[in-house]
Amino acid sequence: MRCEEIAMLLPELLGGSLDAHAEAEALDHLACCAACRSELALWSRVKAVAAAQAPPLPPVIRRRVGSALRRQTGSASLRTAASMLRDTALITQKTIRLSLLCARSGLPEGA
């Protein structure tokens, strides 16, 4: 893939929405292209600012709204602590991989 094509994939890569094939291709390219790593670092900083303006869901609100929805709809599903930990672990693994690539660009990754 050419750099222009990789550049277009970077926001989806950072958002975690790329399919496995495109993600692998992008990561291979990034591993050997400093210019694209610099581009990744910029998008990573953009993501950090966008994420700061969209704070994560506080657990207390998750529980409160979940309880209200259960009352209103009669649903009894509850999220287990194990499933929450699994999700966190998956997100952390991905973030570490991208942070390492940003670090190699010599620019602050900001995420």
Partner 1 sequence: MADIGELYEQNAQAVYRYIRSRGFDEDTAADLMQETFLAAWRQQQRFEGASRPLTWLIGIARHKLADETRRRERERARPVPAGESAEDFADAADSRVLLESAMASLAPEQRELLALVLVVGLTYAEAAAVLEVAEGTVKSRMSRIRAALREQMEGA
Q: Rule CB under 8 A: say whether 97 interacts with partner 1.
A: no
Residues 52, 81, 82, 96: which binds partner 1 (CB under 8 A)?
Answer: 52
Cβ–Cβ < 8 Å for 9, 22: yes
Least Cβ distance, residue 69 to partner 1 (angstroms):
5
Rounded Cα gap, residues 46 and 44, in angstroms: 5
Which residue's CB is nearer to partner 1, number 1 or number 46? 46
Q: Are 10 and 26 in contact (CB under 8 A)?
A: yes
Q: Is there binding between residue 106 and partner 1 (CB under 8 A)?
A: no
96 binds partner 1 (CB under 8 A): no
CA 87/CA 61 separation, integer angstroms: 18
The CB-of-78 to partner 1 minimum distance in angstroms stands at: 7
Q: Which stretch binds partner 1 (CB under 8 A): 10-18, 29-37, 98-106?
A: 10-18
Contact between residue 111 and residue 99 where contact means Cβ atoms under 8 Å apart? yes
